Amino acid sequence: MRALSRAAIAAVAGAAILSTASCGAGAPGNGDKDEEGSASGLAQVDPCTMVPTDVLASFGLRGPGDPDSNGASEPGCYFAGDPISGTFYKNQEMTVATYGDKPGIWERYDRKQVDGRAAASGVATGAGDTGVCTTLFDAGGGVIILTVSNKGEASIDSCAEGLKIAEKIAPGLPK
């Protein structure tokens, strides 16, 4: 089941996020941060340790996580668990706004606020009701991305779970 859940998360959310991150990279006005603004805030954030173990456990996630990635600009970490699993990433080149402004990436992209910062919960195009949801929030000149899978358990709202995780960890991350 872990391999299936991990494959679903990677295939659905990863494809959308990776294609979004690579669109227009480095071009003026595409939302990229200058080197000073982006590198300083998230450079030292490790996706495998940014969620405290007690927070992981409170959501049924187990650490340590397995390093994962959506490319060089988006290092991440996969956490198996029950009733949910998740892969958490950081991206120093994008923001909630730049992810949301890309056409065709999201079936649904609901803008929110977490810890006084821009945030969103989204379902990638093609994900439908697979139970995979991505929650994003701005941090340190970039964005933290929490992709959560309910592992086929329809009674669990993976978007709500992702938002709860974001609310717990955002205060400990750079604004």
Query: φ and ψ at 80, to 5 degrees?
Result: -75, 160
Return mean pLDDT, the chain. Answer: 81
The pLDDT value given to residue 23: 39
CATH of the domain at 68: 3.40.1000
The pLDDT value given to residue 40: 62
pLDDT at 24 over 50: no
Structure tokens at 162: 């992702």
**Higher per-residue confidence, 68 vs 5:** 68
d(CA 139, CA 92): 9
State the pTM of this model. 0.79
Is residue 12 classed as helix, strand or coil in its secondary structure? helix
Domain that holds residue 14: 2-172
pLDDT in tens, 95-119: 999 999 988 889 999 999 999 999 9
Report how many domains make up the chain. Answer: 1
pLDDT at 174 over 60: yes
